[in-house]
């Protein structure tokens, strides 16, 4: 559910910087499901 919300906000140009700030601490996480979620979110942030 959380991933869906982040992806939704990552699609809104005005919210991209907020999403980047929130997910910044998770970039160093070693859990595979966190890494996969970061890939999905970053796809939308890079568009």
Domains of the chain, by residue range, sit at 2-45
Whether the CB-CB separation of 7 and 40 falls below 8 Å is answered with yes
Q: What is the pLDDT of residue 24?
A: 93
* The pLDDT of residue 1: 66
**Residue 17 pLDDT > 90, yes or no?**
yes
Share of the chain above pLDDT 70, in %: 98
Q: Mean pLDDT throughout 18-44?
A: 91
pLDDT > 70? residue 6 = yes
Task: For residues 10 and 28, give the distance between their C-alpha atoms in angstroms, rounded to a whole number.
Answer: 20
Given a cut of 80, whether residue 15 has pLDDT beyond it is yes
């Amino acid at each position: 559910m959380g991933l869906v919300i982040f992806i939704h906000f990552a699609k809104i140009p005005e919210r991209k910087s907020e999403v980047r700030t929130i997910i910044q601490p998770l970039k160093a996480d070693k859990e595979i499901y966190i890494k996969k979620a970061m890939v999905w979110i970053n796809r939308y942030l890079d568009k």
